[in-house]
């Protein structure tokens, strides 16, 4: 497989590993948005959020929590953002599920996405379409 994250897991590509257990790996992002920006991945290859089994996802989220705590205590960050780009159209560059844990400090310049508003009847229409998927 030609997945860069699988190669990092296998030790074929060097990385700055900050946490590892049997199922997950956390390492510094090579293109950080802020100092300490960390990626958390499952060790087994899964492309996106829909393809990961629930047990492994739970373990990945627990690692995200540990990394978040380490960012606050180890780096003194006041908070952090967790990001997931799910599929290419959403900005996922590496087709291996990964969560971004990005440290935040006052005035760091990182902006959140712009917020819009629903037009007349659009929220109800969206709600109905989404709820229908659960039936």
Q: Which residues contact 74 (CB under 8 A, 6 or more apart)?
A: 36
Let me know: does 20 contact 2? Beta carbons within 8 Å.
Answer: no
CB 26 within 8 A of CB 63: yes
This prediction has a pTM of 0.92
**What is the model's pLDDT at position 83?**
96
**Phi and psi, residue 71, nearest 5°:** -65, -40
Residue ranges and CATH numbers for the domains of the chain are 4-132 (3.30.428.10)
Cite the active site residues.
98
87: left (phi over 0), alpha (psi -120 to 50) or beta: left
Residues of the chain with pLDDT under 50: none
Q: Which pLDDT belongs to residue 112?
A: 84
Q: Cα 80 from chain centroid?
A: 12
Phi-psi category of residue 55: left, alpha or beta, with phi > 0 → left and psi -120 to 50 → alpha: alpha
Structure tokens at 70: 């380490």
Structure tokens at 109: 């310049």
pLDDT of residue 135: 78
pLDDT tens digits along 59-72: 999 999 999 999 99
pLDDT at position 63 is: 98
């Amino acid at each position: 497989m030609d997945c860069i994250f699988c190669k990092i897991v296998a030790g074929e590509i060097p990385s700055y590993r900050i946490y590892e257990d049997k199922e997950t790996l956390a390492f510094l992002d090579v293109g950080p948005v802020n100092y300490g920006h960390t990626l958390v991945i499952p060790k087994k290859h899964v492309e996106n959020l829909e393809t990961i089994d629930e047990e492994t996802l739970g373990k990945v989220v627990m690692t995200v929590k540990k990394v978040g705590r380490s960012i606050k205590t180890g780096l003194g960050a006041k908070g952090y953002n967790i990001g997931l780009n799910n599929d290419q159209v959403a900005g996922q560059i590496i087709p291996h599920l990964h969560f971004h844990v990005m440290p935040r400090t006052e005035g760091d310049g990182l902006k959140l996405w712009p917020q819009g508003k629903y037009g007349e009847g659009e929220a109800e229409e969206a709600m109905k379409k989404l709820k229908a998927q659960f039936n």
